[in-house]
């Protein structure tokens, strides 16, 4: 495969989700591309620092000036060139905002992390009882091992979210209670769109030959697979789920409240711990992350949520007696609360600060 | 919950609305204020100043640009919900035009002296001096306009899709455009550093 372009490498820094999977895989295994990626990152950081300017402004004084000028506006004002309008993101530019879009997309990766991990990577035998964030540098995201190189990953089930007309239909089709929001945060009004997704199963079957070949191509030595692993499968089941999505004033989703049957996993023919420890030893997984994962999955009940720690902060809070993981982009443009209760995982996410999403989360009925 | 987890945030990020924000006949009459101007102003002013300040390096000048841009918005029929992106793009264009047209009186030294308070870079090893900042801005003025706008918008937080739509680029070419701009600016900084 030819090397991805400079533009693709640049986007990988900001919007990894916008880069094709094949390109990400290539970059992760290509020393030349990793070097180019590092140089790209350096340039972006340097220019970003050079262009940084904090806009510490007196808004009331500026408004007085504008309203006076607009009211009196006899003098012609030079208009900027007509430009396409874009949807507004809720502005919180009071502090240094260097990469809000990058953070937003990384945030997408964060929330996708549960699913991605479930589908491709670590498949502990567990019944999710809680969610815990695992810190990653965003650069590590491209280095995470793709388990398709080590066997087959088969996804089955209804993995598309589809809109349904109302809460009653959503409940009927998902079998879940649709959480009711007590009070919408400011800026959010109207009725949500209801969406439903079905149960999804991901099955990973280890293939020793394929794994050895993949490791050799990457210049790595595959750790010796434990006896009985070849051909063994791990199966993870999650869903169904239901989501309510409110539009913000800009027309973009402003608040999302989702609930789904939490993932659980099963293995075939081999103790789970054996599979887990072997997968964790595969080349490409950062050792510190592997160590964290071992800790997190020791009791077989914690769903690891990979978080790009340079972009997202994580804390824990209490939501109605359950420990919840709170995620917030460092620029404070997005926040989410995720928790598990009675085998169901609930997420509240939106373009708000953590206090506001927690208020919504605690007000769910 | 794979699909669930992926679909929810993706919607927040990727959904883009858009209509051309060109002033139209039903815009407010001269002297009148759009009824939503107050709300939009209070919500977006700081961000608009921030975009212009990245180009100009001066908060005072950035506020002048922001005033111009909001006055233009007041005369337009851009929906309030789309104002944020429209204003950011307009601020970038206007500020770049300003430094290109020579209307900017300040010399590099004056710029450095009046530079806005500088926030801490989030990459610890990146240290950029005031002089380097003013050099970067001079180099910014020499970049092809599209590259410069793409760079400023990207560093102001617009997504690749938003930058693409603003500049009539494909999302795939935004990365290339931004990368070229950063490479050019990096060379400017490196060239100067090596001459000392």
Distance from CA of B7 to the nearest CA of A (A): 7
Contacts of A200 in chain B (CB under 8 A): 1-3
Render pLDDT for B92-120 as a digit per residue (tens, 0 to 9). Answer: 888 887 777 654 444 333 333 333 333 33
Query: In this complex, do B1 and A80 lie within 8 Å of one another by their Cβ atoms?
Result: no
Tell me what percent of chain B is helix, strand and coil, each rounded to the nearest 5.
70, 0, 30
Same domain (yes/no): A330, A201: yes
Rounded distance between C-alpha atoms, residue A59 and residue A43, angstroms: 33
Residues A307 and A191 in one domain: yes
Do residue B21 and residue A83 have CB atoms under 8 angstroms apart? yes
Per-residue pLDDT of chain A (365 residues; tens, 9 = 90+): 689 999 999 999 988 888 888 898 899 889 999 999 999 999 998 888 888 876 678 888 898 888 887 776 533 333 332 222 222 222 222 121 122 222 222 222 223 333 333 333 333 345 667 777 777 665 555 555 556 667 787 777 765 678 899 999 999 988 899 999 988 888 788 889 898 888 877 777 888 888 788 777 767 777 888 877 888 777 777 788 898 988 766 556 688 899 988 877 776 766 666 766 777 777 666 666 667 666 655 456 777 676 777 778 889 999 989 889 998 887 777 888 999 888 888 999 888 889 999 999 999 98
Is residue B167 scored above 90 in pLDDT?
no
Query: What region does B45 belong to: left with phi over 0, alpha with psi -120 to 50, or beta?
Result: alpha
Q: CA B109, B110, B113, B116 torsion: positive or negative?
A: negative
Same domain flag for A134 and A250: yes
The ipTM, to two decimals, is 0.72
Of B3, B59, B185, the CB nearest to A160: B3
Cross-chain residue pair A88–B84, CB shorter than 8 Å: yes
Q: A338 lies in which domain range? A: 100-141+153-206+236-267+302-362
Cα A203 to Cα A152: distance, rounded to the nearest angstrom: 8
The beta-carbon neighbor of A50 closest among B68, B136, B173 is: B136
Report in angstroms the alpha-carbon separations of A358 from A16, A52, A320, B29, B151. Answer: 28, 31, 11, 44, 35
The closest of B48, B75, B76, B81 to B64, measured between CA atoms, is B48
User: Could you give the angle at which helices B171-194 and A31-51 cross, rounded to 10 degrees?
Assistant: 70
Give how many domains chain A has, as a whole number: 2
pLDDT at A141: 53
**Dist. CA A269–CA A152, nearest whole Å:** 16
Q: What is the pLDDT of residue A133?
A: 75
Q: CA A150, CA A285: separation in Å to the nearest integer? A: 13
User: Using the beta-carbon criterion (under 8 Å), do B31 and A93 form an inter-chain contact?
Assistant: no
Residue A218: inside a domain: no
Assess whether A104 and A200 both reside in one domain. Answer: yes
Chain B nearest CA to A31, separation (Å) = 20
- Please check whether residues A314 and A172 belong to one and the same domain: yes
| Same domain, residue pair A45 and A118 | no
């Amino acid at each position: 495969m030819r090397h991805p372009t400079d533009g693709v490498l640049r986007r990988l820094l900001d919007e990894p989700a916008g880069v094709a999977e094949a390109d990400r895989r290539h970059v992760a295994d290509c020393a030349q591309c990793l070097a180019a990626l590092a140089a790209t990152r350096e340039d972006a950081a340097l220019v970003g620092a050079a262009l940084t300017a904090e806009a510490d402004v007196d808004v009331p004084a500026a408004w007085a000036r504008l309203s006076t000028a607009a009211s009196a506006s006899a003098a012609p004002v030079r208009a900027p060139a007509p430009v396409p309008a874009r949807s507004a993101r809720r502005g919180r530019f009071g502090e240094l905002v260097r990469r809000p879009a990058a953070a937003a997309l990384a945030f997408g990766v964060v929330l996708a992390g549960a699913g991605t991990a479930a589908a491709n990577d670590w498949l502990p035998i567990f019944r999710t009882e809680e969610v815990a964030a695992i810190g990653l540098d965003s650069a590590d995201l491209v280095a995470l091992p793709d388990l398709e190189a080590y066997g087959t990953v088969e996804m089955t089930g209804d993995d598309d979210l589809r809109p349904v007309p109302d809460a009653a239909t959503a409940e009927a089709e998902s079998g879940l209670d649709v959480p009711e929001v007590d009070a919408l945060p400011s800026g959010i009004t109207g009725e949500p769109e209801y969406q439903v997704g079905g149960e999804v199963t991901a099955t990973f079957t280890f293939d020793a030959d394929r794994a050895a070949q993949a490791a050799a191509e990457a210049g790595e030595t595959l750790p010796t697979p434990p006896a009985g692993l070849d051909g063994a499968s791990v199966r993870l089941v999650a869903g169904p789920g239901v989501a309510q999505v409110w539009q913000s004033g800009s027309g973009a989703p402003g608040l999302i409240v989702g609930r789904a049957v939490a993932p659980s996993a099963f293995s075939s023919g081999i103790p789970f711990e054996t599979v887990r420890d072997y997968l964790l030893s595969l080349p490409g997984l950062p050792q510190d992350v592997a160590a964290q994962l071992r800790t997190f999955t020791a009791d077989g009940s914690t769903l690891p949520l990979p978080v790009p720690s340079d972009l997202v902060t994580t804390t824990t809070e209490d939501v109605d007696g359950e420990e919840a993981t709170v995620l917030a982009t460092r620029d404070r443009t997005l926040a989410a609360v995720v928790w598990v209760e009675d085998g169901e995982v609930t997420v509240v996410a939106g373009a708000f600060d953590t206090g506001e999403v927690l208020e919504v989360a605690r007000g769910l009925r | 919950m794979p699909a669930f987890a992926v679909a929810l945030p993706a919607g927040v990020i990727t959904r883009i609305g858009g209509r051309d924000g060109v002033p139209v006949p039903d815009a407010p009459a001269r002297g009148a204020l759009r009824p939503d101007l107050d709300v939009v102003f209070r919500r977006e002013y700081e961000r608009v100043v921030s975009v212009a300040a990245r180009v100009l390096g001066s908060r005072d000048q950035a506020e002048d640009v922001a005033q111009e841009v909001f006055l233009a918005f007041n005369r337009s029929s851009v929906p309030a919900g789309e104002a944020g992106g429209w204003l950011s793009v307009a601020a970038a264009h206007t500020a770049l035009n300003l430094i290109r047209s020579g209307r900017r009186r300040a010399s590099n030294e004056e710029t450095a002296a009046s530079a806005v308070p500088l926030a801490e870079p989030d990459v610890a090893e990146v240290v950029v001096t005031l002089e380097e900042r003013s050099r970067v801005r001079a180099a910014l003025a020499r970049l092809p306009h599209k590259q410069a706008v793409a760079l400023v918008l990207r560093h102001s937080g617009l997504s690749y899709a938003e930058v693409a739509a603003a500049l009539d680029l494909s999302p795939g070419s935004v990365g290339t455009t931004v990368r070229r701009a950063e490479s050019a600016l990096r060379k400017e900084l490196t060239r100067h550093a090596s001459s000392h």
